[in-house]
Structure 1
Amino acid sequence: MDLLERLFGPDTDTREDLRVGLFVDGPNVLRDEFDVDLDDVRAAAERAGRVTAMRLYLNEHATPGLIQAAEARGFEVVVTSGDVDVRLAVDLTEFAIEGRGDVVAVASRDTDFKPAIETANAHGCRTFAIAPGAFGRSDALRNAATRKVTLGEDDEGPTLVGYDS
């Protein structure tokens, strides 16, 4: 059984058929204690299919160097004043409801995204929670998602909630 099948179960879709929207919570993922590289986040999302949208959400304190590095890696950078959670959650929800992808992947350790993941599930999207590391895992977010992965660890397989049979 290959990694895709372990993550998403047997399916008639091939990995290349699945369109993935990747939403990265910059302030919660790009922290010194996690040592996360955006290329690793993208690679994790690519396990689910063809990434067609990549957004990195940052607050107004983001350095120009970080913004430039993210854009050089192909991310659309969204800078918000204050907390990025609301903007990311709204964008993720719109992406799912409007059918712009088959999978929504959120890289975060923040439980605040659980309602957005649940809404995406309810609208037929597969969901993928990417944790920045074992210390940065949100059990609520991971349990709401169809699939989960922790950067730096082996594949953990599917969760029970939203399991595609």
Structure 2
Amino acid sequence: MIAKAPQLPGSLHWHLIGHLQSNKVRKVLPLVKCIHSVGSLDLARDIDRIAGELGLYPKVYLEVNLAAEISKHGFSAEQLRSTLEALYALKRLEIHGLMCIPPYDPDAAKSRPYFVKLRELREELETLGAAPLPLLSMGMSHDFEIAIEEGATIVRVGSAIFGERTYSKAA
């Protein structure tokens, strides 16, 4: 993204959906309209601080790791409940909703329980007095239809549009 953004029209609205390392926030923040992967209070604080320095108000989604997968980032549901007040105290972040990535399974139906859990967590957090969390970023190319059935407002379907990724081997 850092390399491609300057080569493309400035009118594009970039959404970052992968993990954002704290040491990359300063480079990425001016390029993106939205970050779908804020998965810790520390990262949120870094984004808030740097956004303040740059005069930005980034839109963010709070990433929730509902399956407690070690290989993935994100708040557990309990961590999110306990840090939500601190997250909303950050003045530069516009928290628009929640995001999850279920464990991959070729059977897309196995993603449904995670989409249901994310929707229910959003409803619970709103009931507890949090500001509205209107958007749910959930579902990818293989399971987006189920995600939509369960309330997704944003789906990530890059593979369906552009084809499967090809990864170059490191030299």
The bucket for the TM-score relative to the shorter chain is 0.3 to 0.5
Higher strand share: 1
Task: Tell me the TM-score normalized by structure 2.
Answer: 0.34
Considering only CA atoms, is the larger Rg found in Structure 1 or Structure 2? Answer: 2
| Bigger RCO (CA 8 Å, 6+ sep) | 1
